[in-house]
Amino acid sequence: MKISTRRRGYCGIPVFLPLLFLPWPAFSQSFNDPGDPPALARTITAAMSDEEALAQTFMLGWVGAEPSPLIMNWIRERHIGGVKIFGWNTGDTRKLAETVGTLQRSSLEGPFRIPLLVATDQEGGWIRHVKGATSETPGNMAIGASGYPRDAYLSGYYIGRELALLGINMNFAPTVDLYTNQASVIIGPRAFGDDPVRAGILGAAFMKGQGAAGIIATAKHYPGHGGTDLDSHGILPRIDVSFETLWNRELTPYRMLAKEGLPAVMSGHLAFPKTQAGPLPASLSSWFLKTLLREQIGFQGLIITDDLMMSGATSSAGTLSRAAKQALLAGNDIIMMSSTPNLNDAVWAYLAASMKEEPEFRERIRDAARRILELKLEYLRGERAVPPVPDLKRVEAELPDPEGAAFFLGLAARSVTVIRGNTGIFPLSPEKAGRILLAGQFSGFFSAGKAAYPEAASCWYSPDRPEELIRRAGNADTVIFCLADAPGLAILRRLRYLDKRVIVLSVLSPAYLDEVSWTAGAVAVYSYAPESFIAAFSAMLGRIPARGRLPLGSVRQVP
């Protein structure tokens, strides 16, 4: 439709009328227009400029509790599609909610009134980027130990409900990596265990729980980070497994979740050189993302890179700009960066120029923008949608979630696992234990331990100075040792020849327990949340049954 401002006068002389006096129809579409998500997403994308479409593929982090001027410029001037909240943004929960509201208000003032995807890593357990007043939870491996899909569903639901209060609408969870390499300190208790089918079942339940809270679930780290002890933040890990192994092991959870309507996947900076991708990281491989994930597995949702500023991505591509372009061409829809580049940084200039010069790249960006908008339209509108601007009164009144607190304590109790104790050591009453020494490195361990054994002595051990612990253990009848890592294992071994009763309370990964089979008893929990320590000591005292089953086939459980 063409609007002309020129009309003929009575004598046929052209008269130019000011635009003010003419009706001017609104051509731009709005995010809130009626219509189903696929159709409206196509319409809005078609109305976008190339740079507006490109901006939707950017998800950026920033430093500080308040929005930086630079991140605000990216939202106001570039109209980016999303922001990522990291732990350094989240010390003050109320401040975080205010910040999210500020970011979203600016985004909603832009063309098409499109809200931001506001994402974080709130896996539960060990990985909890949004701290402050949010719940500490037992984590994925505790869910694996309980074995109940309902525990996975409600974990996702209550974590999601807290995020929704803060205006966070996307969570990079569930983690469906398998704990196949137990030398890894990267995955560990972030996994549901080492069984691929169980991980798929529990991951799907967690995903659906988050969806019930209005949160966009994102499974990670595709195609699987559990087979390496290397960290892709600093290096590109190589996992030397065949395609057959990969398909039947690491990819099983993704195959299951894709059939259940998984909304998003995070691609990992991981190389599988024995597959057709060769030495390329999966995050930059069209074979992994298009051929395998889209075509063979049938995944229809968004694909988001892990942080592109990690060495696992840039070491392969050479520069951040090339990594970003390669990631988008390979099939990622969103490129995520943990810090905020300058507005005219090389990465933006390079991608914008590539859109002008390369029709194939331009089409790929427009397809990605359409997918992003379709997901936003599906999840960020309607009654179930997370409000873009948080209600600060509700934030203060409802965090931590009181129903969630009761549930997570119950989950901790259901997941307590007795690994060893077949000599009648449990229940361990104060009278049976005699003089007790609590040895650990977590305040929650000592508070729960003193509540269980009020007369116990306490020793906060240091891996650098173990002599104090050895000396004090000599005066105890029973040492209850909190084991969480390899340095702790080295100290624990030094207690072996003291002729004392040693009880291990394992937190996080239980993989170290096979190396201390000489101990009198061992109990495993899977996080350092206060609820986990309370449940562990309650099981030691016999106040609750320890019914958890170890979700690792390689560690022997002989209760």
Cβ 483 vs Cβ 492: under 8 Å:
yes
Mean pLDDT of 536-554: 93
Catalytic site includes residue 50: no
Q: Is residue 56 part of a domain?
A: yes
Our CA angle for 38, 44, 46, nearest 5°, is 100
For the ranges 8-22, 470-484, 522-536, which has the lowest average pLDDT?
8-22
Our CA angle for 427, 415, 428, nearest 5°, is 10
Q: Is residue 80 part of a domain?
A: yes
Element (H, E) at 123: strand 122-124
The whole-angstrom separation of Cα 288 and Cα 480 is: 47
Catalytic site includes residue 233: yes
555: helix, coil or strand?
coil
For every residue of 51-99, DSSP letters joined together read HHHHHHTEEE--SSSSPPHHHHHIIIII--SEEEE-GGG-SSHHHHHHH
Cβ 238 vs Cβ 274: under 8 Å:
no
> Token pair of 307, please?
């942080």
Instruction: Give yes or no for residue 9 having a pLDDT over 70.
Output: no
Place of tokens 């696929």: 38
Instruction: Give yes or no for residue 555 having a pLDDT over 80.
Output: no
The pTM for the full model equals 0.92
Q: Where are the alpha helices (DSSP H) in 61-220?
A: 69-73, 93-108, 140-146, 149-165, 196-212
Q: In sequence order, what are the residues at sequence separation of 6 or more whose Cβ sits closer than 8 angstroms to the Cβ of residue 409?
A: 531, 534, 535
Do 491 and 392 share a structural domain?
A: no
Do 359 and 437 share a structural domain?
A: no
Instruction: Give yes or no for residue 490 having a pLDDT over 90.
Output: yes
Among 127, 138, 101, which residue's Cα sits nearest to residue 116?
Answer: 101
CA distances for 497 relative to 459, 479, 482, 493, 516, angstroms: 19, 13, 18, 9, 12
- CATH code at position 465: 3.40.50.1700
Q: Is residue 309 part of a domain?
A: yes
User: Strand 58-60 relative to strand 82-85: parallel, antiparallel, unpaired?
Assistant: parallel
pLDDT in tens, 321-345: 999 999 999 999 999 999 999 998 9
Q: In sequence order, what are the residues at sequence separation of 6 or more whose Cβ sits closer than 8 angstroms to the Cβ of residue 349?
A: none
Instruction: Give yes or no for residue 425 having a pLDDT over 50.
Output: yes
Do 241 and 276 share a structural domain?
A: yes
* 3-state class percentages of the chain: helix first, strand second, coil last, to nearest 5: 45, 15, 40
Do 459 and 351 share a structural domain?
A: no
When pLDDT is cut at 50, 70 and 90, the band that residue 365 belongs to is: very high
Among 436, 440, 437, which residue's Cα sits nearest to residue 532?
Answer: 440
Q: Is residue 363 part of a domain?
A: yes
Instruction: Give yes or no for residue 257 having a pLDDT over 80.
Output: yes
* Phi–psi pair at 91, nearest 5 degrees: -65, -40
Return the pLDDT at 422.
58
The whole-angstrom separation of Cα 54 and Cα 78 is: 9
Q: Where are the alpha helices (DSSP H) in 386-452?
A: 392-398, 402-415, 430-433, 443-452
Mean pLDDT of 461-474: 92
Mean pLDDT of 353-364: 98
Do 192 and 278 share a structural domain?
A: yes
Q: Is 381 exposed, middle or buried (0-12, 13-18, 19+ CB in 10 A)?
A: middle
The whole-angstrom separation of Cα 202 and Cα 297 is: 19
When pLDDT is cut at 50, 70 and 90, the band that residue 27 belongs to is: very low
Provide the sign of the torsion angle of the four alpha carbons 64, 70, 71, 72, taken in this order: positive
Do 168 and 234 share a structural domain?
A: yes
Residue with more model confidence, 229 or 294? 294
Provide the sign of the torsion angle of the four alpha carbons 336, 341, 343, 345, taken in this order: negative
The whole-angstrom separation of Cα 52 and Cα 348 is: 12
Q: Is residue 25 part of a domain?
A: no
Q: Is residue 554 part of a domain?
A: no
Return the pLDDT at 317.
75
Mean pLDDT of 143-155: 98
Place of tokens 């065949």: 242
Do 353 and 207 share a structural domain?
A: yes
pLDDT in tens, 50-93: 999 999 999 999 999 999 999 999 999 999 999 999 999 988 99
Identity of residue 365: I
Do 62 and 127 share a structural domain?
A: yes
Mean pLDDT of 477-506: 96
Mean pLDDT of 205-213: 98
Do 230 and 105 share a structural domain?
A: yes
Alpha carbon 89 to chain centroid distance?
15
Q: Which domain holds residue 462?
A: 416-541
What is the count of structural domains for the chain? Answer: 2
Select which of 177, 306, 307, 333 is catalytic.
Answer: 306
> Token pair of 433, please?
């234990």
Do 420 and 351 share a structural domain?
A: no
When pLDDT is cut at 50, 70 and 90, the band that residue 183 belongs to is: confident
Return the pLDDT at 559.
53
440: helix, coil or strand?
strand
The whole-angstrom separation of Cα 53 and Cα 340 is: 19
Do 369 and 472 share a structural domain?
A: no
User: Strand 117-120 relative to strand 82-85: parallel, antiparallel, unpaired?
Assistant: parallel
* Phi–psi pair at 335, nearest 5 degrees: -105, 125
Largest CA distance in the chain: 115
- CATH code at position 174: 3.20.20.300
Our CA angle for 413, 416, 420, nearest 5°, is 150
Q: Is residue 94 part of a domain?
A: yes
Select which of 50, 231, 233, 391 is catalytic.
Answer: 233
Q: How many CB atoms lie within 10 A of CB 36?
A: 10
Q: Where are the alpha helices (DSSP H) in 308-358?
A: 311-317, 320-330, 346-357
Residue with more model confidence, 517 or 16? 517
Provide the sign of the torsion angle of the four alpha carbons 34, 36, 39, 43, taken in this order: positive
Q: In sequence order, what are the residues at sequence separation of 6 or more whose Cβ sits closer than 8 angstroms to the Cβ of residue 153?
A: 205, 206, 208, 209, 212
Do 311 and 228 share a structural domain?
A: yes
Q: Is residue 40 part of a domain?
A: no
Place of tokens 């832009």: 110
